[in-house]
Structure 1
Amino acid sequence: MKIQIASKTHFRFAEVISETIQSSAKVRGTGIALRSPEYIQQRMANQNAVIAAEDDKFAGFCYIEIWGKKNFVAHSGLIVHPDFRGRGLAKQIKKAVLDLSLEKFPNAKIFGITTGAAVMKINYELGYKPVTFDALTDDDDFWKGCQTCINFDVLQRMNRNICLCTGMLYDQHLNKNNEQ
């Protein structure tokens, strides 16, 4: 299994990544923002994504989004292809995308939102803490990304204060202090 920073050489996987995200959303019946192959390719072209592949077969993916004038970085689209689940790959991908974020955006607050218990567990193990949505970016474009989620109406009704997702924040300055 090779886990690496995604680039234009990985464009051929964009369609299957998009389809895997969409089918996972249907199976789980929970909130997952859908992403087009073109959207995924843009993250790859900017080298703001991590991909896992084995024998030229897509295994997993996660990408970075930058918000609030580079003050916030979100990890989104974490997905593992069903053929590769149960191997701890999601945590390896999430760790790789966290490392990439720390390298590229050393002063940003890193966050994610999720309804998935497995992702919450991974985030917690990597040093993320649950926070209220007001601790996350107020960038309208970020919240527009939730429009393809089945729970978007909840987010709207609650004025972006509450949703079914849990916001989780990785404060690298706090985590550096804890490591010392």
Structure 2
Amino acid sequence: MNISIVIAHEEHYKFAEEICETINASAIQRGTGIARRTPEYVMKKMENRDAVVATVDGKFAGFCYIESWSHGKFVANSGLIVHPDYRALGLAKKIKERVFKYSQEKYPGAKIFGITTGLAVMKINSDLGYKPVPFSELTDDPSFWNGCRGCSNFDILERKEYKMCLCTGMLYDPAKKKTEEKYTFNKKVLLRLKNIKLALFLKKEKV
């Protein structure tokens, strides 16, 4: 088995549609938010060298892309996905580590952040040095939040005036890396927080 994780480029355009289909299928299966993207959007990321793709024996296995705002001061590693056929190989962590390192190389000094409902992604992020933060500490660039329109939970984000949703915001700030203690991931606490959010938002929808 030959596993390859590289910076995506034009050679990987052929995977764009499959990447989008995999993201969409995962969103439906999980019943939670994953912002959907078009093949054209994915190919643009590849063209700009703002994505990482994983292959196994030449077949698409995983993907993640980079977005930047405020002239590169804020960077997000988004759209992390692993094809169902390759989800027992630890690829999610390997892809995330690769795109995280690449983001630091391409955007030195940038704050790297993400929002997610996935506990597995939260665990990977915490291992890399991310900490949970309120949305107010993330970029205030409207284009970032507009990117959430493809998510099934976008209406919640709008109702909460972009201050919270089912996702948890996580931030890696290189300027604070040496002065702050590393965040210790606690799955039970974050799962409870997620369930509280879900119950609260659903309750308000029924009122």
Fold equivalence (TM over 0.5): yes
Output one character per residue of 1:6-39: Cα deviation in whole Å (capped at 9) or x when no partner.
1111100101000000000000000000010110
Equivalent position amino acid for 1:167 in 2:
G
Equivalent position amino acid for 2:134 in 1:
T
Partner of 1:170: 172
Equivalent position amino acid for 1:16 in 2:
E
Equivalent position amino acid for 1:144 in 2:
N
Partner of 1:67: 69
Partner of 1:5: 7
SS of residue paired to 2:175: helix
Alignment coverage as a number of residue pairs: 179
The answer for unaligned runs of 5 or more in structure 1 is none
- Of 114, 117, 124, which aligns to 1:115? 117
Partner of 1:16: 18
The answer for unaligned runs of 5 or more in structure 2 is 182-207
CA distance in 2, matches of 1:171, 1:7: 28
CA distance in 2, matches of 1:19, 1:123: 25
SS of residue paired to 1:175: coil
Q: What TM-score, normalized to structure 1?
A: 0.96
Structure of larger gyration radius: 2
CA distance in 2, matches of 1:43, 1:140: 19
Partner of 1:139: 141
CA distance in 2, matches of 1:68, 1:134: 15
% same residue: 61
Shift of 1:86: 2.1
CA distance in 1, matches of 2:179, 2:90: 27
On the 8 A contact 1:61/1:79 being kept in 2, the answer is yes
**What aligned pairs does 1:20-99 form with structure 2 within 5 A after superposition?**
20-99=22-101
On the 8 A contact 1:5/1:50 being kept in 2, the answer is yes
Shift of 1:177: 5.3
Runs of 4+ in 1 over 3 A off after TM superposition: 176-179
Q: What TM-score, normalized to structure 2?
A: 0.84
On the 8 A contact 1:68/1:138 being kept in 2, the answer is no
**CA RMSD in angstroms, aligned pairs only:** 1.2
